[in-house]
């Protein structure tokens, strides 16, 4: 019987010392992590903040830039995932409507071409008429 008692005491002491060391002496410190590493409910909160900003300024470009830090999924997919998570965890109807507004806007978003993307028109090649030389 005493062997079992010593074993239980040793195991309990080991677990206690390990927890004390891991939580108090040398806890895990996350440094330079990205928002993409957040749990789904925290990502939904982040997207909700972006939806609130979008509701105020109606700037889809800014919303897309803000959503870019959440990973390689498209902004519309990220907003749709946040909407589903928000419904699952019980966001208010006002929050759900802002997420829906952001999701619809991102699904319909068509970026405007920038002046740098425009290619200059090219001149049509001149026909080589017999007897004329082209420079």
pLDDT of residue 130: 62
Ranges of the chain whose pLDDT falls below 50:
none
Dist CA 84 CA 114 (whole Å): 33
Phi/psi of residue 31, nearest 5 degrees: -125, 135
- Average pLDDT taken over every residue of the chain: 86
User: What count of other Cβ atoms lies within 10 Å of the Cβ of residue 129?
Assistant: 8
């Amino acid at each position: 019987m005493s062997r079992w008692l010593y074993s239980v005491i040793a195991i309990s002491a080991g677990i206690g010392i390990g927890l004390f060391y891991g939580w108090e002496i040398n806890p895990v410190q996350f440094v330079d992590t990205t928002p993409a590493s957040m749990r789904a409910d925290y990502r939904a909160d982040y997207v909700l903040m972006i939806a609130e900003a979008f509701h105020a300024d109606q700037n889809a470009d800014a919303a897309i830039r803000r959503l870019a830090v959440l990973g390689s999924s498209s902004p519309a997919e990220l907003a749709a995932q946040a909407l589903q998570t928000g419904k699952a965890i019980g966001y208010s109807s006002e929050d759900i409507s802002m997420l829906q507004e952001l999701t619809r806007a991102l699904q319909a978003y068509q970026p405007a071409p920038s002046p740098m993307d425009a290619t200059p028109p090219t001149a049509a090649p001149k026909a080589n008429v017999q007897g004329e030389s082209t420079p």
